[in-house]
Amino acid sequence: MKASVYIATSLDGFIARENGDLDWLPGSDGGSGDSESGDDDFGFKAFMDSIDVLVMGRNTYEMVLSFGQWPYGSKRVVVLSSTLTQLSDDLPNTVELRSCSPTELVKNLLESGAEHLYIDGGKMIQGFLNANLIQEIIITRIPVLIGRGIPLFGPANKDVKLQHLETRSFANGFVQSKYRVCE
C-alpha cells in the first residue's frame, strides 16, 4: 500500500494560521485559486483520481465541514480521531470515523483492498511519518510569508530522508515539489 501527502504551505512552512485560518491560501475563499491560465488545478484532480481513501484528522475534518458542501463526493474518507464520537449526519455513507493508531488503520485499510491513501492534515501527516507509513510527499509552496502558524512538520522520532523526484513552477508563483520518503 502507498500513502501519499498532497498539501500546500506558505513559503515559511505553515499549513494554516495559528487559529486554523486558511485566508492566505488562494481558493480558500471559495475561488478557484487556479493559475493565470485559469485551467490548472496543480495536479490535484489527477492525484485524487489515483487514491482509494483519504485519511484526515479531526481538525481537518472540521475545517472541511466549514466549506459548506462536502468536496469529496463519494470518495472513501476516514476521519481518524480519538476525541470525536460521531460524524455529521449529512455526509455520504463513504465517510467513516475511526479511533486507532495509524499502523492499525493502514493494516485495516489494506485488508479492505485499499491501495493508495491520501494523508491530509498536519498532525495526521506527522503521525503517519513518525510511524514510517508515508511513501510520497507533494508540497505546493505558496509565495506568501505568514510569520506564524501551524507548521507542516513538527517533532520527529528520527531524521526522515527524502529523495527529490521533481519540481514544477507555475505562472502564479506556486512551486510544487514531489519527494519519495527513503526507507
Calpha distance 178→139 (Å, rounded): 7
Q: What is the pLDDT of residue 66?
A: 87
Tens digits of residue pLDDT in 58-115: 999 999 998 888 999 999 999 999 999 999 989 999 999 999 999 999 999 999 999 9
The pTM of the full predicted model, rounded to 2 decimals, is 0.90
Tens digits of residue pLDDT in 110-142: 999 999 999 999 999 999 999 999 999 999 999
Q: What percent of the chain has pLDDT over 70?
A: 93
Instruction: Give helix 122-130 / helix 58-65 axis angle, nearest 10°.
Output: 150
Q: What is the pLDDT of residue 137?
A: 98
Q: Do 181 and 162 meet the contact criterion of CB atoms below 8 Å apart? A: yes
Domain 2-181: which topology? Dihydrofolate Reductase, subunit A (3.40.430)
How confident is the prediction for the chain on average, in pLDDT?
91
Q: How confident is the model at residue 27 (pLDDT cuts 50, 70, 90)?
A: low
3-class SS of residue 77: strand
